[in-house]
Structures are given as C-alpha cells and as structure tokens.
C-alpha cells in the first residue's frame, strides 16, 4: 500500500520497532553485533557498514524521494565527497554556477588536484548545459533553486541532456526537500541533501543524505560509504528521522512566510533586488512552478545604496545572523564573507554574489514579527541616520 507524502514523512522507511512495539526507531548505540558462530550473523556486522537506526533513515529518504536506495552520511559534504568519489582523474563534471560554497571548495581544492575536472555553467540556461557536454563529461551536478541567488534549473530538461549523453545527473535538493521537489521522478540519477537544513529542521545536527534508483550505482555508493567511512551516527540518524516527521507542516509555514516576506520586500521601497522563485517577476518562476510544489523559503536581496548592509545585520533583534539555513528559526547570512567565502571574489562578482547580498532563511516564527524586525533593522541602517 502506498501513502501520500504527508503520511510517508511519519510512517515511511522503517516505521517503529517490531521487537518491542516502540513507535519510534530506537537509537542502536552500538559499534558491533554478536556473531553466533563463524560466518553467521544477524545481518548486522559493524556500524560503519550498517546500523539499524541509520538504515531506518536511509530507507526513509529513499521512500520520500521515490528512490530504491538511500544512504546517510555525517554531513552533506561527506555525502558529496562519497558521490564525487564515483569519478576518476580525467573525468569532467558540469556544475551549476551558483552552488553551495563547500561544494565548490571540495571540487576545486580536493578533487581537482586529483585530476577531476569541472566546468562551471549557468545551468538555468539549458542550451549552455548541452553545449558544455564533451567526451570526458561524466556528470552534470546542479542545485535548484541554487545557492545563494535562487536561480532555477529545469531538472527534466537537463535530465534529457544527461540521458542522451549517457552521463549522470546529480541534484542537490537541500533547498526544497522531497516535500516540494522530487528530482529522481524528473529523471535525475542521484539526489543528495544536507540533512542539516530542512530535513533535520531544528539546527541541532549535521547530516547528509543520498537517494537513487540504479542498483549498480547504489552498490558502488554503499561500497564507497563503507570504504570512506563518513557515516551518520545512530543518535543523529534518530534526530533526522524525528525532524522529517514534521517536515510537511514546517515547510508549509516556511513557504507561506517566505512568500509574504518576498512580496513585502519587493514592495517596501528598501531593496534594489529580491531573488525568490515564488515571485511572478522572478526569471525562474515558471520552471519552478512546473517542477516543484512550492518555491521554498530562501530569499536573497540587495538593499538600496542608502542602507548600510553591515548595520542591517547588526540591528536585527529576532532574526539571527548565522551560517546555515532550513531551521525553524530565521537566519540571515552574508554569502560573500560566510557561506560563499571559499569562492574566489572574481567568480562571486561575475555570478552576482555581490558584497551587498543578504541571504535570508525564513523561519516559522510569526510573519508579522519577522517583517517588523526587518523593517526596524533596515530603517535604522539608513546611512546618515542615527544607527
């Protein structure tokens, strides 16, 4: 029997504990498992290789993404490291031009010295993706909406290019989660997440997740997961499972708040530019509407010149200045010096990650309180004012 997504969030994966009837999957805090005799075990041998709490989460993310296989890692970057380890020297990856700073860093500083090559492409322009594919290309790696400018890439269109060229399509689905967007169903081969963000949802744990359908590729990824060893602990697996139970209600509120705030910002007279794919005026609006069930809750904006963005950050009272996103609490960050500092300044400027850019992870607080906080922080940041 198959259930709607809102039921799967709570009952998907491995639901509860068969032995005791516990409604929650227990935290199997064990490194190893007794073998009754040589070569005979319970199916569990060693917790890097497999752990029942982690396995419950791995099955859950597979179910939610419409995949057959799931894997859980100690961080989003551990997941990305393992996925990138599918490739070898000489292989080329096509990569979205605005991606998470850490993804760029591991490509540029860890894998490039080992011979892996990458080409940065504005994947929102599908023709540019097709043009970049050559005989060494092994994968297309996209984020949509991308970080931090929320540009939208047409997943199905890029999947078609990938299929024709016989290369993998890898999608970082952190910003929308399977509640709003399911890339595997649109033709992607591998979907990955920083579970640290909306899936965990409470800014209390670091984790990474992968889901996919191809059995051969899954076998290789399980091998790499065990061989590299960046697995998620039983306790953190439990926290992410718990977070996912409320993903639906949280995302609904996140999106409603973000939509309202993006519209308010656009009409406020305070900003030069608002980036949010839920705005009809946004270049990604139509594609986002076609491929996702909502635009998410990340907004980026640039204040007009008469406001000092440094003072804005300082003046906020309810909204917190911090790295990360996707938690119940609203966070703002300064991509140029924080999340995207590892991207060279010239590339940042070229791709629009200007020094004045503010990224806002809209939380689930009362939306009027959030707007009031933004307004007072901007007003008191007026240059020549009394901030």
Ligand X SMILES: *Cc1c(COP(=O)(O)O)cnc(C)c1O
Where do contacts with ligand X occur on this chain (CB under 6 A)? 75-77, 100, 102-103, 143, 147, 172, 174, 194, 196-197, 206, 208
Tell me whether residue 102 or residue 352 sits nearer to ligand X (CB atom): 102
Determine how many CB atoms are found less than 10 A away from the CB of residue 379: 14
Under 8 Å CB-to-CB from 65, ≥6 apart: which residues? Answer: 173, 178, 182, 183, 184, 191, 211
Find the shortest distance in angstroms from Cβ 274 to ligand X.
Answer: 20
Strands 320-321 and 331-333: parallel
Of 28, 92, 97, 100, which residue is the catalytic one?
100
Q: Known catalytic residue: 48?
A: yes
Of 15, 17, 33, 48, which residue is the catalytic one?
48
Find the shortest distance in angstroms from Cβ 387 to ligand X.
Answer: 31
**Torsions phi, psi of 112, nearest 5?**
-60, -45
Query: 123 with 131: CB under 8 angstroms?
Result: no
CA angle 305, 311, 317 (to 5 degrees): 130
Task: Find out whether the peptide bond into 145 is cis, omega within 30 degrees of 0.
Answer: yes
Strands 298-303 and 357-361: antiparallel
Find the shortest distance in angstroms from Cβ 243 to ligand X.
Answer: 13
Q: Known catalytic residue: 100?
A: yes
Find the shortest distance in angstroms from Cβ 101 to ligand X.
Answer: 9
The continuous run of DSSP H or E covering 217 comes out as helix 215-228
Of 182, 197, 250, 348, which residue is the catalytic one?
197
Find the shortest distance in angstroms from Cβ 147 to ligand X.
Answer: 5
Distance CA 29, CA 39 (A): 23
Tell me whether residue 82 or residue 196 sits nearer to ligand X (CB atom): 196
Tell me whether residue 72 or residue 303 sits nearer to ligand X (CB atom): 72
User: Counting Cβ atoms within 10 Å, is residue 241 exposed (0-12), middle (13-18) or buried (19+)?
Assistant: buried
Tell me whether residue 177 or residue 315 sits nearer to ligand X (CB atom): 177
Tell me whether residue 169 or residue 303 sits nearer to ligand X (CB atom): 169
Q: Known catalytic residue: 109?
A: no
Of 63, 91, 108, 172, which residue is the catalytic one?
172
Find the shortest distance in angstroms from Cβ 76 to ligand X.
Answer: 2
Distance CA 183, CA 189 (A): 8
The β-bridge partners of 275 are 300
Distance CA 99, CA 122 (A): 10
Q: Known catalytic residue: 317?
A: no
Task: Find out whether the peptide bond into 328 is cis, omega within 30 degrees of 0.
Answer: no
**Which residue in the shown chain puts its C-beta closest to ligand X?**
76
Determine how many CB atoms are found less than 10 A away from the CB of residue 115: 11
Tell me whether residue 12 or residue 76 sits nearer to ligand X (CB atom): 76
Name residue, tokens 């997941």: 79
Tell me whether residue 133 or residue 142 sits nearer to ligand X (CB atom): 142
Tokens at 357, concatenated? 């850019």
Find the shortest distance in angstroms from Cβ 198 to ligand X.
Answer: 10
Under 8 Å CB-to-CB from 220, ≥6 apart: which residues? Answer: 86
Residues with catalytic annotation?
48, 100, 172, 197
């Amino acid at each position: 029997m198959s259930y709607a997504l809102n039921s799967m969030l709570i009952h998907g994966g491995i639901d509860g504990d068969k032995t005791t009837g516990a409604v929650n999957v227990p935290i199997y805090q064990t490194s190893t498992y007794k073998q009754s005799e040589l070569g005979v075990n319970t199916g569990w041998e060693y917790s890097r290789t497999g752990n029942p709490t982690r396995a419950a989460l791995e099955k859950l993310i597979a179910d939610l993404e419409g995949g057959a296989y799931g894997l859980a890692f100690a961080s989003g970057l551990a997941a990305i490291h393992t996925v990138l380890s599918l490739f070898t020297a000489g292989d080329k990856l096509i990569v979205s031009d605005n991606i998470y700073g850490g993804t760029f860093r591991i490509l540029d500083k860890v894998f490039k010295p080992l011979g892996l090559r990458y080409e940065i492409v504005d994947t929102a322009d599908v023709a540019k993706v097709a043009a970049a594919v050559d005989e060494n290309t092994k994968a297309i790696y996209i984020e949509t909406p991308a970080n931090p400018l929320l540009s939208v890439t047409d997943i199905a269109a890029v999947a078609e290019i990938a299929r024709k060229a016989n290369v993998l399509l890898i999608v970082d689905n952190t910003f929308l989660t399977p509640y709003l967007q399911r890339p595997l169903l649109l033709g992607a081969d591998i979907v990955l997440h920083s579970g640290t963000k909306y899936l965990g949802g409470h800014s209390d744990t670091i984790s990474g997740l992968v889901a996919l359908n191809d059995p051969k590729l899954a076998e290789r990824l399980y091998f790499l997961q065990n061989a590299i060893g960046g697995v998620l602990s039983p306790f953190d697996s439990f926290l992410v499972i718990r977070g996912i139970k409320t993903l639906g209600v949280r995302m609904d509120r996140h999106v409603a708040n973000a939509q309202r705030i993006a519209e308010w910002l656009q009409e406020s007279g305070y900003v030069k530019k608002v980036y949010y794919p839920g705005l009809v005026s946004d270049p990604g609006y139509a594609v986002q509407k076609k491929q996702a069930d909502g635009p998410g809750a990340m907004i980026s904006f640039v204040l007009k010149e008469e406001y000092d963005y440094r003072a804005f950050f300082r003046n906020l009272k309810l909204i917190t200045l911090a790295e990360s996103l996707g938690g119940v609490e609203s966070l703002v960050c300064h991509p140029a010096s924080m999340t995207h500092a590892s991207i060279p300044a010239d590339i940042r400027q070229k791709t629009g990650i200007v020094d004045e850019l503010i990224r806002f992870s809209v939380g689930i607080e009362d939306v009027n309180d959030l707007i009031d906080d933004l307004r007072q922080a901007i007003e008191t940041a007026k240059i020549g004012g009394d901030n």
